[in-house]
Structure 1
């Protein structure tokens, strides 16, 4: 394996990590902004209030997106270990 191939594998692995984690992070961001907006409108200044809705939304998103995430990771693993060529 050459240095260029190893660099390409690492680059593809990092891109895959970003693609797989992005939906849950975006959902956490949106829920956090909505809860912060509600806190600002109602003047509730409880710092722990944002934690439970964000974690709950991210867990639900992970459960719903699990087939998609699994398929993406399986495709990546097959491409990496099967043929040695990246998708």
Structure 2
């Protein structure tokens, strides 16, 4: 049996507990941006469940937000809005 090809693997929507990791410049501005974007596109997300990790030198942070993903359009809108900010370095 061969491994599935990337185009064969699809997310089934709705997808509960879908994690999105945002890597960016550490600080309150990044936190505010993440909350604003997720309030807009996934208003039912749990703010208290956001996981924050600081980089070794404290210059960067990763924030992991878990949502119920409703579709590809929602995920693309979240990624687009986050990547539009200079604070955000990467969205996974």
Report the TM-score when normalising by structure 1.
0.32
From the two aligned structures, give the one with the greater strand fraction: 2
